[in-house]
Amino acid sequence: MNKSIRLKLHPSEFQYNILVTDEEPFTSLAIKIRSLSYSNLILVTNTVVWKFYGSLIDSSFKRNGLTYSTVILPDGEKHKNIKTLQRIYDKMLLFKADRGSILIGLGGGVIGDMTGLAASTYMRGIRYIQVPTTLLAQVDAAIGGKTAVDYALMKNIVGAFYQPIFVYSNVNLLKTLSDRIYRAGMAEVIKYGIIKDRNLFLYIGKNSNDILSRSPKSLLSLISASSRIKAEFVEKDEKETSGIRVLLNFGHTFGHALESFTHYKILHGEAVGIGMIIAANLSYLLNLCEKEVPEKIERLVRAIKLPVSSNNLDMRYLSKSINYDKKSKADKINLILLKEIGMPVVYRMDKKMLKKILREVKI
């Protein structure tokens, strides 16, 4: 089954499809590439993903008469940096990439972010396609054109907004994920339910067993629903200028700080899960919502078997790290908090007050 979401940007009118499918992997991807005009294809991936899918994508492309070159990078967030980005540029020069070339990012959020950033900067911009292989990337990172690398322990601090021309999300690519990485991706799905779709929030709670067992039917529903929500936010606020898209950062301010605190030993989705609980508890302490709101969120995070706290979490470090957050300006920061499930709010807060009130958050 194929479910296609059309993302259309304003005022540029640039648009592209997000295909969510359970077909034999890479079938529609190869067909899509065959329909394009290009000088050469360069596939960027990592050693782990290539081990699982290298032969499969190779046979699919060959059946469709496609030739391509590969850039195979080491796996992991610690390699999401300028040095690795330079390796991509070096390979592109070696392959004689020009403005007619197309990059394909095959992997999770790290590969997708770096492929997109390389595409946005090489010859001032070439086309690229996202082929996300993790749940986290399929519902979030691959959609919307946020590209970046980490720098000086700051996550995604160097980057650009640059849209792909196609996103290919195949639920069958999630079969090879470890349970931990798969569950981490569910944090972003839960986030969509919290900030936009109460029914999605309830669906996750009622179908947690099917979701944890990776039922294709559940995955198609979750990924297509999440993709539509993400696309809606991006269409209304591509570069986070109107303030609407910033709502997608619910849980991320604290999550990113937690990732930095643990030196990325905690997965992004795990950090976001904890970050959402912190944000919900902060909302309650600020009298924005009832106590049942953070309680419901924590129960759902637990049901998906994600961590709800981090050992030895130092709230002083957390508040200090927030000073470097991209939503932080001077002595104020914009936090995404909650009035209730499905009703987020942008809350402008004094950093000194935040530091004080965070001491009351028990997590």
Token pair in block for residue 70: 């590969």
DSSP 291: T
Q: Which residues of 203-217 are buried (b: 16+ CB within 10 A; e: fewer)?
A: bbbeebeebbebeee
Strand order in the sheet with 343-350: 328-329, 332-340, 343-350
Domain match, 274 and 139 both: no
Q: How far is CA 152 from the centre of its chain?
A: 21
Q: Are residues 169 and 223 in the same domain?
A: no
Q: How far is the C-alpha of 10 from the C-alpha of 359, rounded, in Å?
A: 42
**Using an 8 Å Cβ cutoff, are 236 and 212 in contact?**
no
Q: Do 38 and 93 fall within a single domain?
A: yes
Sign of CA dihedral 179, 181, 184, 188: negative
Give yes or no: residues 29 and 129 share one domain.
yes
- Residues 361 and 218 placed together within one structural domain of the fold: yes
- The type of residue at 280 is A
Same domain, 75 and 115: yes
Query: For the domain that residue 16 is a member of, what is the CATH number?
Result: 3.40.50.1970
327 near 231, Cβ under 8 Å?
no
Q: How far is CA 271 from CA 66, 133, 235, 246, in A?
A: 39, 20, 27, 18
Q: Are residues 126 and 251 in the same domain?
A: no
Contact by Cβ (8 Å): 45, 57: no
Number of other CB atoms surrounding residue 275 within 10 Å = 27
- What pLDDT score was predicted for residue 350? 83
Tokens of 137: 């990337």
CA dist 233 → 25, 129, 131, 237, 247 (Å): 28, 20, 21, 6, 9
Boundary residue ending a domain (154, 177, 200): 177
Co-location of 161 and 309 in the same domain: no
The range of the structural domain enclosing residue 214 comes to 178-363
The answer on 148 and 19 residing in a single domain is yes
Residue 1 tokens, joined: 């089954």
105, 165, 171, 353 from 132: Cα distances, Å: 7, 14, 10, 39
Let me know whether 122 and 17 are in one domain. Answer: yes
Indicate the residue among 148, 177, 206 that finishes a domain.
177
Q: In the chain, which stretches have pLDDT less than 50?
A: none
One domain, residues 161 and 50? yes
Last residue of a domain, one of 120, 142, 177: 177
Residue 149 and residue 235 in one domain: no
**Contact assessment for residue 102 and residue 164, using Cβ atoms and an 8 Å cutoff:** no
Report in angstroms the alpha-carbon separations of 242 from 48, 156, 176, 245. 39, 21, 39, 8
What residues are labeled active site?
124, 146, 188, 230, 240, 245, 249, 252, 256, 268
In angstroms, the CA 11 to CA 15 distance is 11
User: What is the pLDDT at residue 121?
Assistant: 97
Amino acid at 251: G
pLDDT at 133 (0 to 100): 97
Residues with Cβ within 8 Å of 327's Cβ and at least 6 positions away in sequence, in order, are 246, 249, 253, 333, 334, 335
Give me the pLDDT at residue 230, please.
95
For the chain, how many structural domains are there in total?
2
The CATH number given to whatever domain includes residue 319 is: 1.20.1090.10
